C-alpha cells in the first residue's frame, strides 16, 4: 500500500475578476475562492493510483481558514485524510518558504509519492513542486500528462515544448501533473457526507519547527517589487472579404505560427 | 432550516455543477426530440441521486427530506422534467426501502440507488385519479402467486423501468383493500400503451401500463395485504415536497433569465429595468419563490421529524410551490414579450413542464381538500 500526498490550494475563481492588491502586492483572496482545478485533477490522479494498487491519499494545503475547503473537496472526492498548515505568521510566504513549510509537514511521514499540480492559477510560479522535491530529497518528475505507478516505480510522459519525453523514477518520488492528466470526478453524496468525519490535522509554526524570524512575507527571500494591471486587450485584426479573405486569414495564422 | 448547513451547501454545490453541465445544455434538445436520457440518469445515479433518502444499508444515500428538496431545486434549474422523473424514481426506491423485506431491499435498492435499474410508480388508473381509493386493478391470490389484471394510467418511465410498484385491489373494502405489489419488467402479461402526446415533460415517457393475467410470487408483495393505500399516501408526502422543489427550481431559472433580460432590453429609450413596474414584477416573482421555498423547508422538516402536522404542511407546500413556480415562469415569458413565446428562449418549455406539477402527486385542489379537512376535522 503506498502513501500518497496531494497538494491542494484555494485560488480565486478563474471565472471571477481576479486582482492583485496593489498595497500588499498579494493576490486578493476576498472574492470567490475555489479549489484550483489543477489540484482536483491531481487528486483524481492520486485516487486512480490508489484504486489501481491500493493506497492511502492525504490532501495537504497551506493557507488561511477557508483553505480547508480545498481539503474537504479532496476528502469528498475520496481522499482519506487531510493536513492543513495554518498560521497567521505564514501569510505572504514566497515559493521558497511555502516549500519549506510543506517539507516540514510532509518530511517525517513516510509518503511514497507526492502529487502536485504543475502550477497554480493564482501565483503561477510553478516552482513549489521542484523546491519541495529538493528539500525532501525525492526524485522529481514534473509536468507529467500521464502517470502510472507500478512495482515501486512511477512512469509518465513529461511535456516539453515540442513533444514529450518518457520519464520514470523510483519511489519515493514527487510528480507534478498538467491539466491533461485526468478529468476530475464529481464527489458523490456519500463522499460529501463522509468528508466531515475524515481526520484533518492542523499544523502551525510550532508543529512545523519553523522559527518566527523565518516565516511570512516580512522574511521572504523574494520580493514583489511592483504590480501592474494587464493592459486592456487591443482591438483585433479585421479582415474585410474582397475575395481573398481566406488567404489573408491563413497568412495571419501562419505568421502567428498557429498553423 | 436557514441558513442551510455546510453539508447541505456541499451537496447543493455538487448538484448545481451536475445540473449546469449535464442537464441544462441538453434540456431543449431532449424536449424537442422526446429523448429520455437514461445515460444521464445513470450518471446521476453514480453521484447518489437514485435513492437519496433511503437507508445506507443497501446503497441509499441516507439523506433527509430537507436535503432532498435542495437537491431537486438544483436539478430542476437545469431540467424540470428530468428532476421530476428522478423524484418519482426516488419515491419507488424509498417505498421498497421503507416497506420491503430485507430480501426485497437487497434485491432492488443497490441498482435503484445507482439508477442502473429504473423504477415506476403505478397508482393512477383511467377511472381513478384524485379518488385513488377507487382503484380497480385487481390482484387475486392463487396459491403462492398473485394474478394481476387492470390498467394503470399516466405512468412515468413506463416501458423503460425495471420495476413497477403497483397499487392493486385485493379486497373490496375501499382504501383498506389496497395492496402494493412489485412487478419486474418482463413479467408475462405486462405491456404498455403508446407514449402519450402531452403538453410538456417531453423528456420522459408517459404511458399506460397494462396487466393481463400478470403472475408474480406472493413474495413480491410490499408489506401486508391492505397496507397499500397507506404506503401510497406516505410516499406522496415526500413526492409532493420534491415536485414542489422542482417547480421552485424551474421558476428560479426563469426568474434568473428574466432579470438578465430586463437589464439589457431597451424600450422607450432606457433599459426595461428602469421602469418601476418591471421592478415590482421581479419583486413579486422573487417573493413568491422565496415564500414557497420557506414553507417547503418547513414541511420537509415536519416529514423528517414525523411531525403530526406533516400531511397538512406537505399539502400546503406542494400547492404553494407548484403554483409559484408556474406563475413565475409564466411572468418570465411576459417580461420577455414576443421573445418569451419563442422556443429558442427556453421559457415556454419551463412553463409547459411546470404546468403538470399542479396536477400530479395529488392535484392542487386535493391539496386544498386536505388542508380544509384538517381545519374542520373531517
pLDDT score of A219: 85
User: Same CATH fold, B229-377 and B6-118?
Assistant: no
Which has the closest alpha carbon to B211: B156, B239, B169? B169
CB contact under 8 A, B10 and A190: no
Distance from C-alpha of B234 to C-alpha of B221, rounded to nearest angstrom: 17
A-chain CB neighbours of B46 within 8 Å are 188
Distances (CA, A) of A248 to A44, A59, A244, B261: 44, 51, 6, 38
B290 catalytic residue (yes or no) = no
Distance from C-alpha of B270 to C-alpha of B263, rounded to nearest angstrom: 10
Alpha helices in A54-173 (DSSP H): 68-77, 95-106, 128-136
The list of chain B residues with pLDDT below 70 reads 378
A-chain CB neighbours of B66 within 8 Å are none
User: Which of B48, B61, B115 is most worth mutating to test chain A (most A CB atoms within 10 A of its CB)?
Assistant: B48
Percent of chain A scored above 70 by pLDDT? 98
Report the topology of domain B229-377: Butyryl-CoA Dehydrogenase, subunit A; domain 3 (1.20.140)
pLDDT tier for residue A92 given thresholds of 50, 70 and 90: confident
- By C-alpha distance, the chain A residue nearest B71 is A189
pLDDT score of A11: 82
Q: What is the pLDDT of residues B85-117, one digit of tens each?
A: 999 999 999 999 999 999 999 999 999 999 999
- Structural domain spans, chain B: 6-118, 120-224, 229-377
- By C-alpha distance, the chain B residue nearest A70 is B10
B-chain CB neighbours of A193 within 8 Å are 7, 61-63
pLDDT score of A228: 81
Which member of B224, B281, B361, B365 is catalytic? B361
Report the topology of domain B6-118: Butyryl-Coa Dehydrogenase, subunit A; domain 1 (1.10.540)
Which has the closest alpha carbon to A45: A166, A183, A173? A183
Domains of chain A as residue ranges with CATH: 2-219 (3.40.50.620)
B-chain CB neighbours of A188 within 8 Å are 14, 46-48, 61
Which residues, numbered 178 to 217 in chain A, qualify as contacts with chain B under a Cβ-Cβ cut-off of 8 Å? 186-190, 192-193, 195-196
What is the helix (H) or strand (E) element at residue A156, kind and residue range? Answer: strand A153-160
- By C-alpha distance, the chain B residue nearest A196 is B7
* Residue with more model confidence, B150 or A12: B150
CB contact under 8 A, B10 and A76: yes
CB contact under 8 A, A193 and B47: no
Q: What is the pLDDT of residues A133-158, one digit of tens each?
A: 999 999 999 999 999 999 999 999 99
Q: How many contacts (CB atoms, under 8 Å) link A and B?
A: 37
Nearest to B18 among A72, A186, A190 (CB): A186
Distance from C-alpha of A47 to C-alpha of A183, rounded to nearest angstrom: 12
A-chain CB neighbours of B7 within 8 Å are 192-193, 196
Interchain CB contact of B17 with A (< 8 Å)? yes
- Measured from the Cβ of residue A27, the count of other Cβ atoms closer than 10 Å reads 18
pLDDT tier for residue A240 given thresholds of 50, 70 and 90: confident
Residue A183 reports pLDDT greater than 80: yes
Q: What is the pLDDT of residues A195-228, one digit of tens each?
A: 989 999 999 999 999 888 888 888 888 888 888 8
CB contact under 8 A, A189 and B10: no
Is the sign of the CA dihedral A88, A92, A97, A99 positive or negative?
positive
Interchain CB contact of B182 with A (< 8 Å)? no
A-chain CB neighbours of B14 within 8 Å are 76, 186-189, 192
In this prediction the pTM is 0.86
Distance from C-alpha of B284 to C-alpha of A98, rounded to nearest angstrom: 51
B-chain CB neighbours of A190 within 8 Å are 48, 56, 61-62
- Average pLDDT over chain A, rounded to an integer: 89
Interchain CB contact of B112 with A (< 8 Å)? no
Distances (CA, A) of B284 to A216, B288, B328: 51, 6, 9
Residue A50 reports pLDDT greater than 80: yes
Which has the closest alpha carbon to B241: B327, B314, B349, B309? B314
Distance from C-alpha of A35 to C-alpha of A99, rounded to nearest angstrom: 19
Min CA distance, A35 vs chain B (Å)? 13
Residue A155 dihedral angles phi and psi, to the nearest 5°: -125, 155
Distance from C-alpha of A117 to C-alpha of A196, rounded to nearest angstrom: 24
CB contact under 8 A, A195 and B10: yes
CB contact under 8 A, A190 and B7: no
pLDDT tier for residue A19 given thresholds of 50, 70 and 90: confident
Distance from C-alpha of B37 to C-alpha of B82, rounded to nearest angstrom: 8
Residue A30 reports pLDDT greater than 80: no
Q: Is domain B120-224 given the CATH code 2.40.110.10 in the classification?
A: yes
Amino acid at each position: 500500500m503506498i502513501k500518497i500526498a496531494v497538494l491542494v490550494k484555494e485560488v480565486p475563481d478563474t471565472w471571477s475578476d481576479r486582482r492583485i492588491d496593489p498595497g500588499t502586492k498579494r493576490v486578493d483572496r476576498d472574492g470567490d475562492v475555489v479549489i484550483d482545478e489543477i489540484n482536483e485533477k491531481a487528486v483524481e490522479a492520486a485516487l486512480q493510483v490508489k484504486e489501481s494498487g491500493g493506497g492511502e491519499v492525504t490532501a495537504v494545503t497551506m493557507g488561511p481558514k477557508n483553505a480547508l475547503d480545498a481539503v474537504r473537496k479532496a476528502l469528498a472526492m475520496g481522499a482519506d485524510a487531510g493536513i492543513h498548515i495554518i498560521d497567521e505568521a505564514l501569510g505572504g510566504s514566497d515559493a521558497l518558504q511555502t516549500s519549506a513549510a510543506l517539507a516540514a509537514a510532509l518530511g517525517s511521514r513516510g509518503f511514497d509519492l507526492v502529487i502536485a499540480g504543475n502550477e497554480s492559477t493564482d501565483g503561477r510560479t510553478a516552482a513549489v513542486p521542484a523546491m519541495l522535491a529538493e528539500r525532501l530529497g525525492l526524485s522529481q518528475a514534473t509536468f507529467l500528462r500521464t502517470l502510472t505507478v507500478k512495482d515501486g516505480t512511477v512512469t509518465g510522459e513529461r511535456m516539453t515544448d515540442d513533444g514529450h519525453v518518457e520519464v520514470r523514477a523510483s519511489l519515493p518520488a514527487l510528480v507534478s501533473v498538467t491539466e491533461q492528466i485526468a478529468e476530475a470526478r464529481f464527489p458523490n453524496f456519500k463522499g460529501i457526507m463522509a468528508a466531515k468525519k475524515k481526520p484533518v490535522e492542523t499544523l502551525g509554526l510550532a508543529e512545523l519547527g519553523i522559527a518566527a524570524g523565518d516565516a511570512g512575507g516580512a522574511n521572504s527571500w523574494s520580493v514583489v517589487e511592483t504590480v501592474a494591471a494587464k493592459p486592456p486587450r487591443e482591438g483585433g485584426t479585421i479582415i474585410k472579404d474582397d475575395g481573398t479573405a481566406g488567404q489573408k486569414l491563413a497568412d495571419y495564422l501562419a505568421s502567428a505560427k498557429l498553423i | 432550516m436557514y441558513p442551510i448547513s455546510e453539508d447541505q451547501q456541499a451537496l447543493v454545490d455538487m448538484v448545481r455543477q451536475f445540473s449546469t453541465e449535464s442537464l441544462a445544455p441538453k434540456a431543449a434538445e431532449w424536449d424537442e426530440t422526446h429523448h429520455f436520457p437514461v445515460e444521464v440518469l445513470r450518471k446521476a445515479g453514480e453521484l447518489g441521486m437514485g435513492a437519496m433518502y433511503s437507508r445506507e444499508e443497501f446503497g441509499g444515500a441516507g439523506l433527509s427530506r430537507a436535503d432532498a428538496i435542495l437537491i431537486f431545486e438544483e436539478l430542476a434549474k437545469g431540467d424540470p422534467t428530468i428532476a421530476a422523473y428522478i423524484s418519482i424514481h426516488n419515491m419507488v426506491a424509498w417505498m421498497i426501502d421503507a416497506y420491503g423485506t430485507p430480501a426485497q431491499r437487497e434485491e432492488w435498492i443497490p441498482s435503484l440507488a445507482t439508477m442502473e435499474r429504473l423504477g415506476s410508480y403505478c397508482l393512477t388508473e383511467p377511472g381513478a385519479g384524485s379518488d385513488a381509493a377507487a382503484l380497480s386493478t385487481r390482484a387475486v391470490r392463487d396459491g403462492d402467486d398473485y394474478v394481476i389484471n387492470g390498467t394503470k394510467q399516466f405512468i412515468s418511465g413506463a416501458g423503460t423501468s425495471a420495476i413497477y410498484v403497483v397499487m392493486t385491489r385485493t379486497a373490496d373494502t375501499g382504501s383498506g383493500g389496497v395492496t402494493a405489489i412489485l412487478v419486474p419488467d418482463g413479467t408475462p402479461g405486462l405491456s404498455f400503451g403508446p407514449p402519450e402526446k402531452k403538453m410538456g415533460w417531453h423528456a420522459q415517457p408517459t404511458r399506460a401500463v397494462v396487466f393481463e393475467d400478470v403472475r408474480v410470487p406472493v413474495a413480491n408483495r410490499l408489506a401486508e395485504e391492505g397496507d397499500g393505500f397507506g404506503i401510497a399516501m406516505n410516499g406522496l408526502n415526500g413526492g409532493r415536497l420534491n415536485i414542489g422543489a422542482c417547480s421552485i427550481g424551474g421558476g428560479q431559472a426563469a426568474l434568473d433569465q428574466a432579470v438578465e433580460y430586463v437589464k439589457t432590453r431597451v424600450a422607450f429609450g432606457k433599459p426595461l429595468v428602469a421602469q418601476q413596474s418591471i421592478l415590482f414584477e421581479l419583486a413579486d416573482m422573487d417573493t413568491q419563490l422565496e415564500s414557497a421555498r420557506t414553507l417547503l423547508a418547513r414541511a420537509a422538516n415536519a416529514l423528517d421529524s414525523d411531525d403530526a402536522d406533516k400531511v397538512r404542511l406537505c399539502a400546503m407546500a406542494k400547492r404553494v410551490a407548484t403554483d409559484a413556480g408556474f406563475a413565475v415562469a409564466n411572468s418570465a415569458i411576459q417580461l420577455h414579450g414576443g421573445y418569451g413565446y419563442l422556443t429558442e428562449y427556453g421559457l415556454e418549455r419551463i412553463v409547459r413542464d411546470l404546468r403538470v406539477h399542479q396536477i400530479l402527486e395529488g392535484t392542487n385542489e386535493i391539496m386544498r381538500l386536505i388542508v380544509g379537512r384538517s381545519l374542520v376535522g373531517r
